[in-house]
Copies of this chain bind each other. A is one copy, B any other.
Amino acid sequence: MSGITSESHIWTPEKGLQSGGYISEGVISRPRQVKAAQDHVYDVIIIGAGYAGLIAARDLVNAGRSVLVVEGRDRIGGRTYTIKHEGFNYEMGGTWVHHTQPYTYRELMRYDLHTKLIKTRDDTQANNYFSINVPGSKRDISNELSGEIIGKVWRLFVDIDGQEGRTVCPLPHAQLENPFVNRKDVEKWDSISCWDRFEAIKGQLNTEEQGVLKALLLSITGGKPDLKNSGFWDMIRSHAINGHSYDMMDPIWLLYKLRDGQSHFARLMFEEAVGLGLEYTFRTHVEAIKQVNEGLNLVRARDGRVFRGRKIICTAPLNTLNSIQFDPPLSRLRQEAANQGHINFMTKAHAVVKGSGYASWNGLAYPNELSAAYGDGLLPNGDTHLVSFGADYRDEFVLEEQPERLVAAFKKFAPFDVKSVVFHNWNTDPYTQGGPNFMPPNFTTKYMDALQKRQGNIFFANADWANAWRNFIDGALEQGALNAHHVIAELRKEDKEAQPSRPSL
């Protein structure tokens, strides 16, 4: 059950850039399954077939609802998909899972995938060390020592209250609304940037530590290299949801992957839904959503087709909300948030480097187009797969135009023999217009409530405004599941209320 995707780029010295044509379980080869008559009113139309849309669709058809999924791409998975190339699963977007992530783990157990994991970290290969390349320090150290250095700078960075944020963000799932915090405290820490916080603590760091911290932060935020548009609150929130524990950071963020790839997981969910009657139309770009009356909403596609639904679940990411015309328009605050957008325009790239030794290697570099890189498994031919994250370098280059620049960026970490570079440019992708949400200053306190709110019969479900694992796969599943739950309950109530007025037979 795979298809050929039009997405993903692979650059090799021999062939240059090859775009698309790769195998992915995410691709749905038969792009349309729309059985209902054109004027059929679906119970629910779901815009987007990422994890939020998939779980919502699955839960809704399980509840007996008629559902249509409308997706612009040729595949499911949204910001998460896997291509299989030369026997290796490349995770082009969202990758790692951890048992602290409630929606993800519930689903993994449901599909019996919780036993089918592989690990990124591998201590058994030759080059089991950590490379630092920052102003004033270029050296290779042990992974133990790098853990100590990163642990020190990270803890200092988030330690705003002598308790690593426990007093200010005790409940990461409920940052603004809980009995333990003073909203003013949250607003205060939400108002500053990562640059502000860096400036406040840099006196306690030596030159190397400063460079390490900057590289680390940029690999997380995907913001501008000066860190000024990266909000500080998302770091406090991230540390809180990692259990306020630095020990949990690597295991949660970078350790466990699905053996058969994220697209396999997504496909299981999709196939379950299709088996229960889900209808879908891929390669269908939604242009407009119009709420006609309480029981009818219209979704207009670019190809002129119009779909009718009682409820709409829109899973478009924050940075793309403006590309859909809403009538009535988005609420003022949601519109403002979409206009400003989040700031994560990260550079994510994979490399294949010659030999197996680097599977145990990690590194940080600053300044560099890629800030952090990790050995992440071996190809069948014994070469090493590396995965790497960097800041927002859109001002300087476009990945598709200068893929060689990624090769140079990889070589800043260590003397790799780079055999290929693999990437999806999420920043030029019209259906994402950036990576997963990392917020600028003031965003959480100003917009989070507004982003989660429904508008009439349109529900908004995206990882970008999840309660818990915001900008993780789990956040997408959370938003899809929660919104589906509300929609199921509401449809049931409406149907019940409508029943007495129907003539009895």
Contacts and interface: CB of A to CB of B under 8 A. Distances in A.
A105 B243 CA distance: 14
Interface residues of A, number: 47
Nearest to A100: B100
Interface string A226-244: 0000000000000001011
A177 interface: yes
A52 to B, nearest CB: 14
Nearest to A64: B64
A100 B103 contact: no
Contacts of A251: 243-244
A173 interface: yes
Given A109-B467, A115-B174, A248 B243 contact: yes
Given A243-B247, A248-B245, A109 B478 contact: yes
A244 B247 contact: yes
Contact of A114 (B110, B174, B259): B174
A243 B241 contact: no
Contacts of A106: 102-103, 106, 478, 481
A259 B180 CA distance: 12
Nearest to A496: B275
B171 A115 contact: yes
Contacts of A119: 170, 180
Given A99-B241, A243-B245, A247-B244, A114 B62 contact: no
A63 interface: yes
A371 interface: no
A468 interface: yes
Contact of A102 (B99, B174, B180): B99
Contacts of A324: none
Given A102-B102, A109-B478, A247-B245, A178 B115 contact: yes
Interface string A84-105: 0000000000000001111111
A413 to B, nearest CB: 26
Nearest to A110: B485
Contacts of A104: 102
A467 B108 CA distance: 12
Contact of A248 (B64, B172, B179, B248): B248
A243 B100 CA distance: 8
B99 A173 contact: yes
Nearest to A481: B106
Contacts of A408: none
A118 interface: yes
A147 to B, nearest CB: 12
Contacts of A101: 102
A102 B106 CA distance: 6
Contacts of A109: 173, 467-468, 478, 482
Nearest to A119: B180
A117 interface: yes
Nearest to A111: B485
A267 to B, nearest CB: 17
Interface in A239-270: 241, 243-245, 247-248, 251-252, 256, 259
14 contacts: A64-B64, A105-B173, A109-B467, A109-B482, A110-B481, A114-B174, A115-B173, A115-B178, A243-B243, A243-B245, A243-B248, A245-B245, A245-B248, A248-B248
Interface of A: 62-64, 99-106, 109-110, 114-119, 170-174, 177-180, 241, 243-245, 247-248, 251-252, 256, 259, 276, 467-468, 478, 481-482, 485, 488, 492
